[in-house]
Amino acid sequence: MILSKNLDDLKFDKKLKVAILSSFTLNGLDETFHVKCSEIGIRYQSYVADYNQYNQEILNSKSDFYNFSPDITFLILDIRSLLGDYFYFPYSISSAERKSLVKEKINELENLILQFKNNSSSTLVITNFNIPSYSPNGIIETKSEFGFHEMIHEINESLRNIVKNQNSIYVYDFNQFVSKYGEKNIFDYRQFHLGSIQIAFNYIPYFAYELMSYVKTMLGVSRKCIVLDLDNTLWGGIVGEDGFDGIELDQTSNGKAFVEFQKQLLSLWQQGIILAINSKNNFDDAMKVIREHPDMILREKHFASIQINWDDKAQNIKQIAEEINIGLNSIVFFDDDKLNQERIKQEFPEVLTVDMPNDPSQYSSILTNLNDFNALQRTEEDTKRGVMYAQQRQRKQFENTVSNLDQFLKQMDIKVKIKQSNGFLIPRISQLTLKTNQFNLTTRRYQEEEIRKFSKDENFEVGCAQVLDKFGDNGITGAYIVKKNETNWILDTFLLSCRVMGRGVEDAMLSHILKDAKNNGIEEFKAEFIPTLKNKPAENFLSDFGFRKHDNFWVYDLKNDIKSPNHLMVEIE
């Protein structure tokens, strides 16, 4: 095991153990990972198996690879190794034989995945196979009965199906990677013969960048929100000078580029990415375009926060973060103006400020190349997020019309549905533990696999809360894990998504848990508060509820009464 030197990454508190197993030489991938992890504040440790040792490493349950116990494993295979000589001579055998060969290879892969799953709880990313552009059958390849290309296609398709319903196993589409950068660039015969290299070393950084998507997402360092400038970012020209009819949108070549960019943004919004505006403009001029311009794709309802004014852009970004209740490190900032970019970079280095090119035709490809918006699974809550934020804006407006908080809460008709963990809820519960920073007592991060284990274990209670109110469904926004010892119960995890904070939901959840403990004859209930840079909102929660500090724990004496909020309705499912 080699650790790249000269990287002062011991200071990082996020750690990641990465294993790389491959069927060919992958020099430089490990080092590139290390640097890229370091850049985003992750302490990287790695295990790189000797090339083509992946079978032994996976099949032997006592292998060094399993001993290393990685968090994430990249299994990087190539089609030449898989097919052997049939890669060169696919037509030396009949189509029936090709079919059975493919079947055999798929079984091998399936068995490998199964063994891996039995021996390790690591996340697994397995690459699919590149379909070469060449075929000895030339132009009639596409007419061949179960031809060479179809064989590989079939293997890829099967791999996809094997993995589809497996938690924490993912297929990386290597075939797409080769399409993106070009077969002639990726596969260099000279490097192949000199060092069994199958991804040209100058493309290793791109490859590493793509695989980093999994790492970033696993560690919850993904971005949630795109903050956009307007003039020359969402449309061409300056609305204050060129006027409503003078800006470029769709009608010109330049204008088409902005529409394309907006469509890509809308598509991300539909997947749950939040959009916001940060623009120096007259509010009315700019809003007229957003509301009335026939060629605008993004409209008012797509934006969770709209800051159109003459204030400092850095101030506006802060305002947006507060309004949506997300961290600055969840934000990506698009602004064509170099000065504004510089301003944000200096003031908030944690915001990802995109270096935008002068040519708007490049905007879309810059956006689609970012690998910061990934999710390891997409829950219903994610895809509804855009709509939820629109509702949130309405709630805020309502809050402003009601003077007193109690009255406001009563009029909100809040309903909390407490649910025990089940197969459908596990991905969301895991996601909440990975993403929730503010109202989180312990900030313990759990992958799906771990939540699944807790849920099965009778010594643990895993639950979550769905919150509804008169404006709509907030979705599953609270979660907890309780460790049930014989004489006392310990609150391992307790968290609430920030968008429902401060409405008594947290009290309803805890009240339910404490009553449950009491009904089970438990006398002492223990909880922890582990401070982080971000969880100040949860700091006084336990003491306010009536817990007393005792050594490292906060303790609740269950002989006491358990309060519960009366402005909301609680349903136990």
Partner 1 sequence: MLNDLYKIIAKVFSISESDVSDESGPKTIESWDSFNGLVLVDELENHFNVKFTISEITDVKNVADIKRHLKNHKVDLDE
Longest C-alpha distance within the chain, in Å?
82
Nearest distance, CB of residue 193 and partner 1, angstroms: 6
Please pick, from the candidates 56, 179, 191, 371, the single residue that binds partner 1 as defined by CB under 8 A: 191
Smaller CB distance to partner 1: residue 31 or 524?
A: 31
Nearest distance, CB of residue 362 and partner 1, angstroms: 25
Helix (H, G, I), strand (E, B) or coil at 46: strand
Smaller CB distance to partner 1: residue 178 or 197?
A: 197
Smaller CB distance to partner 1: residue 27 or 60?
A: 27
**Interaction residues for partner 1, span 143-162 (CB under 8 A):** none
Smaller CB distance to partner 1: residue 59 or 194?
A: 194
Bridge-based pairing state of the strands 14-22 and 42-48 = parallel
DSSP secondary structure of 210-244: HHHHHHHHHTT----EEEE--BTTTBBS-HHHH-T
Nearest distance, CB of residue 133 and partner 1, angstroms: 22
Per rule CB under 8 A, is residue 5 in the interface with partner 1?
Answer: no
Per rule CB under 8 A, is residue 197 in the interface with partner 1?
Answer: yes
Please pick, from the candidates 84, 182, 195, 240, the single residue that binds partner 1 as defined by CB under 8 A: 195
Nearest distance, CB of residue 206 and partner 1, angstroms: 15
Cβ atoms of 357 and 248 within 8 Å: the answer is no
Beta bridge partner(s), residue 544: none
- 366: tokens are 């810059």
Cβ atoms of 252 and 357 within 8 Å: the answer is no
Among candidates 412, 516, 411, 505, which has minimal Cα distance to 465? 505
Encode 108-144 in three state secondary structure.
HHHHHHHHHHHHCCCEEEEECCCCCCCCCCHHHHHHC
Smaller CB distance to partner 1: residue 201 or 408?
A: 201
Q: Which one of the spans 143-151, 197-205, 254-262, 452-460 is the region binding partner 1 (CB under 8 A)?
A: 197-205
Size of the site for partner 1 (CB under 8 A): 10
Nearest distance, CB of residue 30 and partner 1, angstroms: 11
- Could you give the CA distance from residue 128 to residue 130 in angstroms, rounded to a whole number? 7
Per rule CB under 8 A, is residue 28 in the interface with partner 1?
Answer: yes
Smaller CB distance to partner 1: residue 195 or 243?
A: 195
Please pick, from the candidates 202, 346, 459, 520, the single residue that binds partner 1 as defined by CB under 8 A: 202
Per rule CB under 8 A, is residue 246 in the interface with partner 1?
Answer: no
Please pick, from the candidates 143, 164, 193, 559, the single residue that binds partner 1 as defined by CB under 8 A: 193
Cβ atoms of 171 and 160 within 8 Å: the answer is yes
Among candidates 239, 140, 151, 192, which has minimal Cα distance to 27? 192
Please pick, from the candidates 24, 91, 201, 471, the single residue that binds partner 1 as defined by CB under 8 A: 201
Residue written as tokens 């943004």? Answer: 265
Per rule CB under 8 A, is residue 27 in the interface with partner 1?
Answer: yes
Cβ atoms of 46 and 33 within 8 Å: the answer is yes
Smaller CB distance to partner 1: residue 142 or 202?
A: 202
Please pick, from the candidates 190, 284, 559, 573, the single residue that binds partner 1 as defined by CB under 8 A: 190
Q: Residue 415: which residues within 8 A CB-CB, separation 6 or more?
A: 467, 468, 469, 568, 569, 570, 571
DSSP secondary structure of 537-559: GGTTHHHHHT-EEETTEEEEETT
Nearest distance, CB of residue 43 and partner 1, angstroms: 24
Q: Which one of the spans 185-193, 235-243, 337-345, 389-397 is the region binding partner 1 (CB under 8 A)?
A: 185-193
Please pick, from the candidates 2, 93, 96, 194, the single residue that binds partner 1 as defined by CB under 8 A: 194
DSSP state of 50: P
Cα Rg for the chain, rounded, in angstroms? 27
Residue written as tokens 């006084």? Answer: 540
Rule CB under 8 A: which residues touch partner 1?
A: 27-28, 190-191, 193-195, 197, 201-202
